[in-house]
């Protein structure tokens, strides 16, 4: 079996996406997804460039092709290159599963669990008076069977980050959710890399008694080593990694046990091949995985297969419940029930893509991440 074509589709739906379809000479195709948001057109170009390397190659040689793509430019692949490799790698695993008539999780070691607990994106407006909306959203998902709730740290001031105010308001929110839903609900808070280190320390210390499941991205992501200092001063579980590319990005965080949950993004970190390497490595340090999954149905399917075959799972992010979005493009999606992914026996990733519908969607609009500042006008992370 040989790869005959690689097609990538940057499209705009409720958010920008980049999907990939790889064809073979035996009529088997695979689908993948890239995850570098707001840089879809750059990744699209990278995929087109990498296609010349892999057309004519055996799609079953996933590790060989991963190394070929990563090392073909002499300079190691950056985040754009890694996102391109991720989409291609996921599609190759889909082909492997279909060729062998097995779900991908069986090729990764087989099921280690019967279902995957997921956390939702609870709806909360980023204003000071949003507590009622947040309580309603969390209660709705809890009543629907989800065991987790999750929301982002409030920004408070329009278009401006104020760390001290955000910390105070977030503590109020967490306290209210704990009091309303009780001790059994698991609470995840996404700081989204917005806090300075002193505010992050203050926040983590003050919510320790509220028992969060984890605090996500408490610091900026450029230097994983920054978590050394945070780790010395706080006693709440820390999750990080959604912006780190390949296993090397996780090296210090795992080896020095700076985090409790590895948040690798399969559509950025290097696909299924690299995610499994990171997951096994994390297991040797008793660190669980909690894959980042804010994208489309292919991202969800790929992350689910890794979670089904990985023993050290904490929780899987589920921004959009499968079967509720993009059903015209993806008529068959990951099986889901009451806050949990259920395994499918379908070969490959177990999802289908209608390319004719996909081609009707517009290209992603030009743009960047939302621009936030601090109170003094200096740039902050979104």
CA pair distance 83, 34, nearest whole angstrom: 5
In the β-sheet with 3-12, what is the strand arrangement from edge to edge? 3-12, 16-24, 29-34
CA pair distance 333, 180, nearest whole angstrom: 33
Q: Any idea what the Cα angle at residue 180 is, between residues 129 and 263, rounded to 5°?
A: 80
CA pair distance 292, 28, nearest whole angstrom: 28
Token pair listed for 251: 């090296």
Residue 365 neighbours by CB distance under 10 Å: 8
Catalytic annotation, residues:
192, 292
- The residues, any chain, with a CB within 8 Å of residue 110's CB and separated by 6 or more, are 309
Cross-strand bridge partners of residue 311: none
Phi, psi of 280 (to 5 degrees): -65, -40
- How far separated are the first and last CA of the chain, in Å rounded? 45
Phi, psi of 377 (to 5 degrees): 95, -5
Whether the CB-CB separation of 243 and 36 falls below 8 Å is answered with no
Nearest residue to 272 (alpha-carbon basis) of 33, 38, 14: 33
Q: Which residue in the block uniquely carries the two structure tokens 């230097």?
A: 223
Element (H, E) at 16: strand 16-24
Whether the CB-CB separation of 320 and 123 falls below 8 Å is answered with no
CA pair distance 265, 226, nearest whole angstrom: 20
Q: Angle 297-308/271-283 helices, nearest 10 degrees? A: 40
Beta strands 3-12; 16-24: pairing state: antiparallel
């Amino acid at each position: 079996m040989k790869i005959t074509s690689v097609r990538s589709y940057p499209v705009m739906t409720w958010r920008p996406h980049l999907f990939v379809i790889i064809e073979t000479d035996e009529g088997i195709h695979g689908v993948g997804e890239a995850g570098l948001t707001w840089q879809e057109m750059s990744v699209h170009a990278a995929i087109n460039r990498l296609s010349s390397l892999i057309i004519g190659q055996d799609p079953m040689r996933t590790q060989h092709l991963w190394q070929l793509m990563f090392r073909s430019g002499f300079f190691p692949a950056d985040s754009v290159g890694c996102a391109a490799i991720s989409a291609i790698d996921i599609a190759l695993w889909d082909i492997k599963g279909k060729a062998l008539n097995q779900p991908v999780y069986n090729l990764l070691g087989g099921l280690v669990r019967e279902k995957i607990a997921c956390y939702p994106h609870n709806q909360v407006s980023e204003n000071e008076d949003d507590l009622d909306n947040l309580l309603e959203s969390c209660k709705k998902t809890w009543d629907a069977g989800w065991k987790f709730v999750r929301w982002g740290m409030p920004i408070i001031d329009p278009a401006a980050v104020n760390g001290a105010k955000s910390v105070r308001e977030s503590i109020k929110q967490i306290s209210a959710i704990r009091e309303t839903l009780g001790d059994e609900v698991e609470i995840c808070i996404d700081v989204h890399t917005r806090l300075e280190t002193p505010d992050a320390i203050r926040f983590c210390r003050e919510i320790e008694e509220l028992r969060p499941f984890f605090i996500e991205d408490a610091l900026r992501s450029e230097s994983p080593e920054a978590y050394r200092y945070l780790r010395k001063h706080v006693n709440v579980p820390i999750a990080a990694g959604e912006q780190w590319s390949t296993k090397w990005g996780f090296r210090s965080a795992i080896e020095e046990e700076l985090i409790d949950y590895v948040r690798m993004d399969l559509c950025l970190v290097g696909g299924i091949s690299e995610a499994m390497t990171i997951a096994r490595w994390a297991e040797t340090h008793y660190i669980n995985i909690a894959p980042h999954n804010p994208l489309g149905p292919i991202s969800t399917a790929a992350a689910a297969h890794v979670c089904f075959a990985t023993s050290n799972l904490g929780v899987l992010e589920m921004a959009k419940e499968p079967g509720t979005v993009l059903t015209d493009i993806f008529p068959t999606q990951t099986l889901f029930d009451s806050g949990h992914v259920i395994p499918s026996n379908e070969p490959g990733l177990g999802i289908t893509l209608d390319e004719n519908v996909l081609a009707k969607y517009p290209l992603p609009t030009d743009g960047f991440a939302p621009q936030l500042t601090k109170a003094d006008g200096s740039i902050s992370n979104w």
